[in-house]
Amino acid sequence: MATVKFLPSGRTVDVNAGTNVLKVAREVGLTTLDCCRLRPVCGACKISVIEGQDALNPLGDVERQYCKEQGYLPYQRLACLTKIAKDAEIWVEIEK
């Protein structure tokens, strides 16, 4: 199990390792976003990882390229492609 803390809400959730961040955010009511069906096409699920970058899956080639094209900072990810491996604090920055 891993614990993820969503900020600024302070909502803390225990999840299985490998759980998708966007899926968890929807399940706990932090977003109803479901626009891309877990494919990086809109960027609406941008998140900032405050602590625990190493607690998440590494960026894959698709996410890395998308983030580069969009000018994301090193601590910003796409929730639709990010999975939780161990404890992390995540600032949910849903833009839509």
> pLDDT tens digit string along 28-39?
888 766 666 666
pLDDT, one tens digit per residue, over 10-26 is: 888 899 989 998 888 88
Closest by CA to 78, choosing from 86, 8, 90, 89, is: 90
Smallest CA-to-CA distance from 47 within 9, 20, 18, 21 is with 21
37 closest CA partner among 51, 54, 23: 23
CATH number at residue 19: 3.10.20.30
pTM (whole model) above 0.75: yes
- How many structural domains is the chain composed of? 1
Residue-range definition of the domain harbouring residue 35: 2-92
Give the per-residue pLDDT at 43. Answer: 82
